[in-house]
């Protein structure tokens, strides 16, 4: 069984929070919407634009963009949910560390730290998936 002292655990916890904050800000900055192009209306007697031939392609592209946006929105919701869970876990860990002996950590503290680490890695991977 490995044993962590309180200072190294606090430092690890702080590092996790800093990494998550940076990842969250990076993911938020990467979310941009593509510009929506509209075509000018066609008057009676006027020849249609050559872009009318590409309407199928435009519709397919628009559908792909909307689908990607929905996936990004869902991924963002998942990240927010997981980050909130991380915050809760870190607060619980902080309380447990404060209650524990300064020279030796309990098994539950170590397991909670490992759970936080696993969830933090999952959030990081979701943020990379943009």
Name the residue ranges covered by the structural domains of the chain: 6-30+57-128
Residues 6+ apart with CB under 8 A from 100: 6, 106, 109
Alpha helical stretches, state H, the chain: 6-30, 55-99, 107-128
What is the reported pLDDT for 97? 87
pLDDT digits (tens, 9 = 90+) for 95-122: 988 888 777 778 888 899 999 999 999 9
Half-sphere exposure in the Cβ direction for 126 (13 Å, CA): 22
Contact 23, 123 (CB under 8 A): yes
- The Cα–Cα gap between 40 and 48 comes to 10
| pLDDT above 50 for 125 | yes
Residue 95 in tokens: 């309380």
């Amino acid at each position: 069984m490995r044993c962590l002292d309180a200072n190294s655990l606090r430092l690890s916890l702080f590092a996790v929070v800093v990494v998550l904050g940076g990842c969250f800000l990076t993911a938020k900055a990467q979310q941009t919407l593509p510009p929506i192009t509209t075509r000018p209306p066609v008057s009676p007697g006027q020849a249609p634009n050559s872009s009318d031939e590409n309407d199928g392609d435009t519709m397919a592209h628009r559908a792909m963009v909307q689908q990607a946006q929905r996936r990004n929105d869902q991924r963002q919701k998942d990240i927010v949910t997981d980050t909130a869970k991380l915050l809760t876990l870190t607060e619980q860990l902080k309380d447990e560390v404060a209650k524990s002996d300064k020279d030796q950590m309990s098994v539950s503290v170590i397991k909670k730290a490992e759970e936080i680490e696993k969830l933090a890695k999952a959030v990081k991977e979701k943020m990379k998936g943009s």
